[in-house]
Chain A
Amino acid sequence: MAQSEYEIDLGNLMAFDPHRQFPSTSSSREELVKEAIEQGTKLVQAVADALFNLPSTEDRDGPIVKLPAPSTKLPREKPLPKPRPPTNWELFAQKKGIQKHKKDKLAFDEQTGTWKRRHGYDRVNDDKDIPIIEAKMTDEPGTDPFAERRKEKKGRVDKQERNRLQNLKQAAKVGALPSHVQLAATALPITGTQAMPRKVSKDELQNVAGMASTATASGGKFDKKLPGEKPPKHEKKYRKFLPAAEGSGMGALEKQQTEKVLNKLISKNSHNVLNVEKAVNMYNVKKDKKRKNNEGKPSTRSKLKPNKKSLKKSSKRVSSNKGK
């Protein structure tokens, strides 16, 4: 790379090496990667050098450099605009050979005999300036000619508006709406082509605004609120409950849940079912009764037999060790 004259496009922060030859590829992938990184570093170094050669202004955070306009021609982002179909008037004018002539801003007003502007305030041929309208033979008595004039003008204006919209519709059918009209396309009642885009309702907007405001890393908790912004309508999560009356009142889900809880509870307290003390007491009482019965019988049977009462303390009470 002796001729290291890279083409540097600072507007796009790009460096391009037109003399690069691609030798036969090395066998391993690691070598390829290493070579690519090497070349890349050289190019980036060239960009950095060019950047630092630009005149810089000092700022709080460091030197600031204004990048020049990009020199690389990038391909079009959007397709070429389609040509508009000619309007009815254009077709007619073409046929008749009518040329367009540029009109002057000022025109001579016959009524007042002065030069007035063609359109707008104080214009030529304004209806206000006509003091007298002579009656024609065709005029009915009782009709107001001034009102007639106004009505006619309104009719002409409306017709023109309809034609304009019709031309736009024709253009939109082909897809060649002028760019300034595209954004206001919702106002065009375009029938027959596609469904009119619906107006977003207040609820929808609120929903979307709520979603957008919480679509940050901390769920929108720490963002500063704009002046006039109201707190969100439903801040917490929506909880889901079992249905109140599923089918026959206590549906399967609810039964499952209650059973689960009940079993847990019962198993937790299962050690309480057997009352050890009570069982022990009952056992001791029974034992005492049995002993009493047994002792009663042998003493009446024979007076000759020696008293076989053992002298040891025989009253062995079962001691209960209730592990608490």
Chain B
Amino acid sequence: MRPLDEKETTLVFDKLYKLVGNNLQKIVMENPSYEGPDPNPGRYCFRLQKNRVYYVSESLVKRATNIKREKLVAMGTQIGKFTKGDKFHLTIQGLNLLAANAKHKVWLKPTSEMSFLYGNSVLKGGVGRITENIQVNDGVVVYSMADVPLGFGVAAKSTQDCRKMDPNGIVVHHHADIGEYLRMEDEL
């Protein structure tokens, strides 16, 4: 386990910013953590183990240093991993964190929820609601109509264009969904 170095931190924050915007400040610096025995809330930090990035509270990190590096599997919440080519991808385990701080949201109709959970992109016909001012290539969190976060992706069209589109056009490219917990259990 080690903290991220500067290049890695920039990559991670860039990806997070696309989804979360200025709430990144809240996530990185001002999120109080009531996790440990300490009565004062601690803070959260990012740690790298193997090539996965975890969002852990500081008190947990201190205790995790007692475990051998080879034996430590995971800690806190995993938010993403680094690929062999040193690129950073967000993974589904960070959905709770992202959904709580998302800037742009899309709500899906019940009929197209399953399609998204199988890994397909969101079509215009499946969109129930959509926040204003989404630009192309913005990060978007996908919800069901009952406000359950289903996953996240990248906007293919802006909100304006989305209104004029035909019902079979792609609105959100799929990146991750909670169906992956069942489909891709081994790869998570």
Interface residues, chain A, CB within 8 Å of chain B? Answer: 239, 241-245, 248-250, 254, 257-262, 264-266, 269, 273, 275, 277-278
Contact = CB atoms under 8 A, between A and B. Distances in A.
A249 B47 CA distance: 11
Contacts of A277: 133
Contact of B2 (A241, A259, A265, A278): A241
A245 B17 contact: no
Nearest to A259: B29
B161 interface: no
Contacts of A264: 10
23 contacts: A239-B5, A243-B3, A244-B2, A244-B47, A244-B61, A245-B58, A248-B58, A249-B42, A249-B45, A249-B57, A249-B58, A249-B61, A250-B58, A257-B9, A258-B9, A258-B28, A259-B29, A261-B9, A262-B13, A262-B25, A273-B22, A275-B133, A278-B132
Contacts of A250: 43, 45, 58, 61
Interface in B137-167: none
Contact of B6 (A239, A245, A248, A261): A261
Given A254-B45, A257-B9, A258-B9, A269 B17 contact: yes
Nearest to A269: B17
Contacts of B62: 245, 248-249
Given A241-B5, A249-B58, A262 B24 contact: yes
Contacts of B28: 258, 262
Contacts of B42: 248-249
Contacts of A257: 6, 9
B3 A254 contact: yes
Interface residues of B, number: 28
Contacts of B14: 265
Contacts of B43: 249-250
Interface string B49-73: 0000000011101100100000000
B9 A249 contact: no
A258 B42 CA distance: 16
A69 B9 CA distance: 70
Nearest to A250: B45
Contact of B24 (A244, A249, A254, A265): A265
Contacts of A254: 3, 45
B1 interface: yes
A243 B61 CA distance: 11
A261 B5 CA distance: 11
A265 B17 contact: yes
A191 B57 CA distance: 58
Nearest to A246: B3
B47 to A, nearest CB: 7
Nearest to A253: B3
A261 B46 CA distance: 13
Given A249-B61, A265-B17, A278 B22 contact: no
Interface in B118-145: 132-133
A139 B132 CA distance: 118
A244 B3 contact: yes
A239 B47 CA distance: 17
A249 B59 CA distance: 6
Which of A242, A257, A262, A266 has the most chain B CB within a 10 Å cutoff? A262
A164 to B, nearest CB: 54
Nearest to B57: A249
A189 B70 CA distance: 45
Nearest to B7: A261
Nearest to B2: A241
Given A249-B59, A250-B43, A265-B10, 7 more contacts: A244-B47, A244-B61, A250-B45, A258-B29, A258-B45, A261-B10, A262-B13
In the A-B complex, the 4 residue pairs with the smallest Cβ-Cβ separation, listed nearest first, are A249-B58, A250-B45, A261-B9, A242-B3
Nearest to A261: B9
A272 to B, nearest CB: 8
